[in-house]
Amino acid sequence: DADVTQTPRNRITKTGKRIMLECSQTKGHDRMYWYRQDPGLGLRLIYYSFDVKDINKGEISDGYSVSRQAQAKFSLSLESAIPNQTALYFCATSGSSGGRSSYEQYFGPGTRLTVT
Amino acid sequence: KNEVEQSPQNLTAQEGEFITINCSYSVGISALHWLQQHPGGGIVSLFMLSSGKKKHGRLIATINIQEKHSSLHITASHPRDSAVYICAHISNFGNEKLTFGTGTRLTIIP
């Protein structure tokens, strides 16, 4: 089974609808991230969380919100979807142990979101 | 200007060729991450390195901290190596966030 899972994998929604993307991980990592990928722009950070009580905005957080329901779960919400939020969304995790961080990130399979 | 620049943006080669993908960055870093994105979209971590060289199978990654440059090499390339290769760095400002390049699309022709 995959260590980092995302649901749904594909979603088509209409402008103005609320949508939630979910991410779960079994790696035991404390750090979780949400990115979006657009053609020609590379991956950009939306939100990140270093533990359950720690939520931080990334470079493109406007129009998005997140919830860290548990160490293993990190959800991304679009409160009122708009067409320019059409993109590929990735969740990622990284871990720390013994007081040292591991920078290496592990990615989920991605969610392809289309807003019409 | 992106903090992370990759070259070339696109690369097509014959099976068996030696491949080099370059990554340059403009800030001090703690580590550099090489990732592979498959045609289906999934992203796989290849290497995380902060100095020297790492090797895994036919893949080799090197980094020169003084020159702010890293390379990813693929020996004896194969069509299954066709993917987008992404370089990302973690700055040494302590926030542990990745900054990504836009990727190099590699196509290996049989």
Q: How many angstroms separate the CA of residue A80 from the nearest CA in chain B?
A: 26
Q: Which residues lie below 8 Å from residue B46, measured CB to CB, with a gap of 6+?
A: B34, B35, B36, B56, B59, B61, B72, B85
Q: How confident is the model over B25-50, as pLDDT tens digits?
A: 987 777 899 999 998 788 999 998 88
B16: which DSSP letter? Answer: T
State the best of B43, B95, B102, B105 to mutate against chain A, taking most chain A CBs within 10 Å: B43
3-state secondary structure of B102: coil
User: What percentage of chain A reaches a pLDDT higher than 70?
Assistant: 93
Of A40, A105, A109, the CB nearest to B33: A105
Region A58-86 average pLDDT = 95
Q: Return mean pLDDT, chain A.
A: 91
Q: Burial-class residue B83 by CB neighbours within 10 Å (0-12, 13-18, 19+).
A: buried
CB atoms near residue A61 (< 10 Å)? 15
Burial B26-43 (b: 16+ CB within 10 A, else e): eeebebbbbbbbeeebeb
In chain B, which stretches have pLDDT less than 70? Answer: 1-2, 92-96
Closest CA to B31 of B91, B101, B100: B91
